Structure 1
């Protein structure tokens, strides 16, 4: 089974179990004091396999399904069979670290969902195919245009600090996806810059 489908399957099964089991949800969600005081470092990964509701889960998993399948062969070729899993888990950890550090003593803070790692996958894809048409809320647009709009929106919303969406994780996940991909294959950056200069 492709790693992408395995991740989706695990995430869906655990998320649906957690919807019905509050104790399981509480054991997996990112609750900073549990990491700071009780050394429950597994939460830096397990928060990504639980979601707030079905809509949150489906949005992340549909995005992962389309872009994960496209990017998995790249990481497999560069890092071996488990390359995409390594990249994805790294995205979960890196995208949430700033949030944990900021809230490490805040008992009222919670965070969950795979959005940070999914952002890493999406932005890695944009490096490879910046002018590829993607569908955003039924609107087609080039991937690079979406990247610019998504980044600007996430920065704006993160600075406002309102709502229940962790925009910081989206931004750090996107940055991780770009940097990790360039580090493991330095040819990606010149390819991206050349593609930008030659739309279509």
Structure 2
């Protein structure tokens, strides 16, 4: 029996065990999740790795672990177990470092998930074999096409900030994983250079723009345009923090005037969430 895929399976098991503990123990979850202030101010660098073994919910966990298991066999078989582990962990760290760069001024920004590491494995496989197929619901998607769409969606997700998905970790992990595979087998550039360039060039350009022109990070919704003032990502963050502070002040004032029993369930939930930070 071939040992290819065994490390991927072991990583799936570890992710399930650690994530389940995070589901059932909020203190454990908060102590190991990725958080900007914890990394930059408290120098808690273990979170760059530990956060990759936590997940928000079962759906998040199952999707990441299914993707990891499907693609891990290819990398282990072609590059070996040691290189597979190297790509997994440097992609995980690379994805979190890009998140840290994008949200470096947002101290309470937090995230969890193996998405950066899994993206690195997927894109390493695409670099080695762009024609590798991704089958979903009877639809076959060539790996190179999946990669182009993935990068485009990640860039839009970072710019629009319309959801809570860690697109930065996806993009950073994917780029690190692909580049690592190229370093390990540089000959793939002779045969797969078109697909590799179509994926890596826009990703690298966008990361450069994040560093040099951070105000480009926000765009209007693609389908709904409004005439509201344009805000940079820092202005939007500061506005959200002010709204949060005003909400907490209003709740505390209500407690002072009428007692804690006067709070609605929603107000109690807001206060409870704020007190855990």
TM-score (norm 2): 0.65
Q: State the match for 2:45 in structure 1.
A: 41
Q: Cα gap change, 1:158/1:106 in structure 2, threshold over 3 Å: closer, same or farther?
A: closer
1:68 aligns with 2:72: yes
Asked whether the equivalents of residues 122 and 174 of structure 1 are also in contact (C-alpha less than 8 Å), the reply is yes
Alignment of 1:112-131 (within 5 A): 112-131=112-131
**Segments ≥4 residues shifted beyond 6 Å:** none
Q: Quick check: 41-50 or 181-190, which moved more?
A: 181-190
The answer as to whether partners of 1:33 and 1:105 remain within 8 angstroms in 2 is no
Q: 2:158 aligned with 1:158, yes or no?
A: yes
Task: Confirm or deny: 8 A CA contact 2:52 2:112 kept in the other structure.
Answer: yes
Equivalent positions of 1:1-200 (< 5 A) are 2-76=6-80, 81-136=81-136, 138-193=138-193
Which secondary structure state, in structure 1, belongs to the residue aligned with residue 186 of structure 2? coil
Cα root mean square deviation, aligned: 1.9
Between Structure 1 and Structure 2, how many residues are aligned? 192
Listed as ranges, the gaps of 5+ residues in structure 1 are: none
Higher relative contact order (CA 8 A, sep 6+): 1
The structure with more radius of gyration: 2
Q: Distance in 2 between matches of 1:40 and 1:104?
A: 15
CA distance in 1, matches of 2:159, 2:195: 32
Identify if the C-alpha distance between structure 1 residues 50 and 169 changes in structure 2 by more than 3 Å, giving closer, same or farther: same
Contact 1:67 1:125 in 2 (8 A): yes
Q: Is there any run of 5+ residues in structure 2 with no aligned partner, and where?
A: 197-277
Contact 1:32 1:106 in 2 (8 A): yes
Q: Deviations over 1:29-78 (max 9, x none)?
A: 001111112211100001100000000000000000010111112332xx
Tell me by how many angstroms 1:160 deviates: 0.6
1:140 aligned counterpart, secondary structure: strand
